Structure 1
């Protein structure tokens, strides 16, 4: 059974093992419909003229921005390519997953991806186990990268408006990040995949997160080279931490609010952070529109290769 009448439903891969359960079909439709509504509401918050006027003259920001945007779905595709022999066309559903997580609500995209996976893949283990393990490892990798960055960029934390609580804030943040690794004590009960697969996935996440932090800092440094690059790394680390907060929509906007609080309302830095959040949201809407157009264009054509074959 395939999904119908949803924004991304017709980006289908052939079903090797279908599970025609009505509840999962309707849940997918509800998630897609909710995502469409959220995108329309977010679209109303974008001032196209203001966004155009605020874009920097240095065009090097554009490839860096695109690399930053696609780093997560590319890493996800690499992971699930190895786990499920996911073809290149499966990249579309991973884009939809990211948009669902960031525009609608955290883990909404994961639910959508899980429903897609159980309808279209024949796996040696339940897709829930693989998706769960990938997300847990992503969280652990994010905390490790953030902890290392916190230690590396400590001299620049003083540039934020934390007042006399700078040292206490750093210590508390480091302690909270460290406690997340207690889950490893129960790894045999928590994880489903084999140990070698888990380490490989963790390595991919580390590379992806490190690249994301550097790309984000580089993006801001290109647009506004005044502050030291280490200062941008601090803000990029905070953006990484905000991105891990569960069950929150539009985390880029939330990060912009936090950044304005930390650097000051009248700072050029706060304007740049707000511009970045708006640009990422505009990319979400543009990518969603392209996915929707592809879904309508190919809804009655079998253009995707079979699972396990090269594409």
Structure 2
């Protein structure tokens, strides 16, 4: 009878909470093709209602618009790759895995992408223990930093928001702020139990998340400014901040309508603002769909070729 291996100590912060052996079970093997098929199904369904002719008529002619738009779109991916490159020294292939993570979160179910990236990391990267802790910590820090950024911005814009009469009740706003503060406070109180990375790593990742928010908001403001050049860039920077602020409030409904009202109040041009918001939303979804379709078809083709080679 073999002596069972000693369980890892829970006091060792360098180990993940639930270390898992890396093994190629049928469940892990089918994760990627299953996600690829699901993404393709979503892509086909979404493209049924796309009217590309109407979309092309509203796109600005300035080529810098596309530079700024794709810079904004890929900001999150670039910072995610920077974080995991620093933590694990992941190869360039990690960009594809992170792109699939983002598309999966946006098109299927939020945080399902993290589950996929976790499985990819377990199979592709040699490290002690499971990468579960690092993936978890990065996701939690992203939410916490966004919450703190939101609270700081709310303190700045609240005096102006009160005078706009945008349909946000005081009780809903207070409840939303309360949820954000409680969640963030709980993370800090139980940080020793929640996080598995070192304090230095946590601070560095928090700084990168903060930089991602700043860069993303600036690029989004530039995108809007190039689409409507008659409006000063400074107004778009303020509106980009307001947009992120609204996106983080958990108990506020009709966020797109509220944001459109803020934008119209700030810069006027009622019809142009609504067209611009619809344009950017549509372009982001279309980019998700195109990238998701390319990755899914590539995955399925690779799997098919691999099976043929094994049979030969």
TM-score by length of 1: 0.77
Kindly state the Cα deviation for residue 99 of structure 1 after the two structures are TM-superposed. Answer: 0.7
Q: Residue 280 of structure 1: which of 262, 278, 284 is its match?
A: 284
Aligned partner of residue 29 in structure 1, secondary structure: helix
Structure 1 equivalent of residue 11 of structure 2 = none
State the alpha-carbon separation in 1 of the partners of residues 59 and 248 from structure 2. Answer: 28
Match of 1:236 among 235, 240, 252: 240
- Residue by residue over 1:120-146, the C-alpha shift from the partner in whole angstroms, topping out at 9 and shown as x without a partner, is 222223211111000000001111222
Q: Which moved more, 1:87-96 or 1:37-46?
A: 37-46
Deviations 1:123-181 (A, max 9, x none): 22321111100000000111122222223344653685515x57766655544433332
CA–CA distance in 1 between the matches of 2:289 and 2:257? Answer: 21
DSSP-derived class of the 1:188 partner: helix
Within the candidate set 95, 112, 131, 2:116 is matched to 112
Where in structure 1 are there 5+ consecutive unaligned residues? 1-16, 247-253, 302-311
The answer to whether 1:138 aligns with 2:147 is no
Kindly indicate whether residue 90 of structure 2 is the aligned counterpart of residue 78 of structure 1. Answer: no
1:103 aligns with 2:143: no
Q: Which residue of 2 aligns with 1:13?
A: none
> Equivalent residue for 1:3?
none
Q: Distance in 2 between matches of 1:95 and 1:187?
A: 29
- Aligned-residue CA RMSD (Å): 3.1
Q: Distance in 1 between matches of 2:158 and 2:235?
A: 10
Structure 1 residues 74-97: Cα deviation after superposition (integer angstroms, max 9, x where no partner): 111011111111112210111111
Deviation of 1:195 after TM superposition, in Å, equals: 0.8
Structure index of larger Rg: 2
Q: Over residues 222-271 of structure 1, what are the superposed CA-to-partner deviations in whole Å (9 max), with x where a residue is unaligned?
A: 2124556565345433543566689xxxxxxx864553466679542122
Post-superposition shift, 1:196?
0.7
Structure-2 separation of matches of 1:48 and 1:131: 37
Query: Residue 270 of structure 1 aligns with which residue?
Result: 274
Quick one: distance in 2 between partners of 1:88 and 1:19?
Answer: 23
Distance 1:174 1:256 in 2: 19
Contact kept in structure 2, 1:28 and 1:112, CA below 8 Å: yes
Indicate how the Cα distance of structure 1 residues 109 and 24 shifts in structure 2: closer, same or farther if over 3 A, else same.
same
Report how many residues are paired.
Answer: 277
The answer to whether the 8 Å contact 2:72/2:219 transfers is: yes
2:33–2:300 contact (8 Å) kept in structure 1: no
Residue 199 (structure 1) aligned with residue 200 (structure 2)? no
**1:259 matched to which residue of 2?**
259
Query: What does residue 180 of structure 1 align with?
Result: 183
Taking the aligned partners of 1:173 and 1:229, their CA distance within structure 2 comes to: 29
Structure 2: any 5+ residue segments left out of the alignment?
Answer: 1-20, 307-312
> Against the structure 1 CA distance between its residues 197 and 244, is the aligned structure 2 distance closer, same or farther, given a 3 Å change threshold?
same
Q: 3-state DSSP class of the match of 2:74?
A: helix
CA 30–262 in structure 1, closer or farther in 2 if over 3 Å, else same: farther
